[in-house]
Amino acid sequence: MKLKVTVNGVAYSVDVEVEEEQRTLAPIVFGGGTASLHSEPSNAKVSGTSLNAVTAPLAGSVFKVLVAEGDTIEAGQVLLILEAMKMETEITAPNAGTVTAIHVEPGDPVQGGQPLIEIA
């Protein structure tokens, strides 16, 4: 490849060779490299949820509940705070309504998908 390069106002014509670099990728190993199928059932327990339930998006523990049964809430209002791996996650109301039930208390462990609060 021929290039024209200007340095301090002086033009130079330069021949450049481009070498393509051979890249090799390391093999991708899933699950430790052994092929095995897990047929045992999971031991995670999540009780049934109603359509009005706000559920936990992840496993953790309840840090703080910010509403009480009977409270009128607005869409986007923070209902409670979950703590997982030293990080706090605010759980917000998906829609406006009234809190009809609170299924957890501060300190309770929760699983992802577990109902936390019901809104009517």
- 118, 112, 104, 101: which is closest to 46 by C-alpha? 112
Report pLDDT digits (tens) over 68-104. 999 999 989 999 999 988 889 899 998 899 999 999 9
Domain boundaries, given as residue ranges, for the chain: 53-119
Quick check: 42 pLDDT over 60?
Answer: no
Single-letter amino acid, residue 44:
A
Q: Class for domain 53-119, per CATH?
A: mainly beta
Quick check: 9 pLDDT over 60?
Answer: yes
Question: How many C-alpha atoms does 35 have within 13 Å on its Cβ side?
Answer: 0
- Tokens at 42, concatenated: 């999971």
Residue 40's pLDDT band, with cuts at 50, 70 and 90, is: low
Single-letter amino acid, residue 56:
A
Mean pLDDT score, 45-69:
80
State the Cα–Cα distance between residues 18 and 110, nearest whole angstrom.
58
State the Cα–Cα distance between residues 60 and 90, nearest whole angstrom.
12
Residue 30's pLDDT band, with cuts at 50, 70 and 90, is: low
Q: What is the pLDDT of residue 28?
A: 63
Quick check: 111 pLDDT over 80?
Answer: yes
Length of the chain: 120
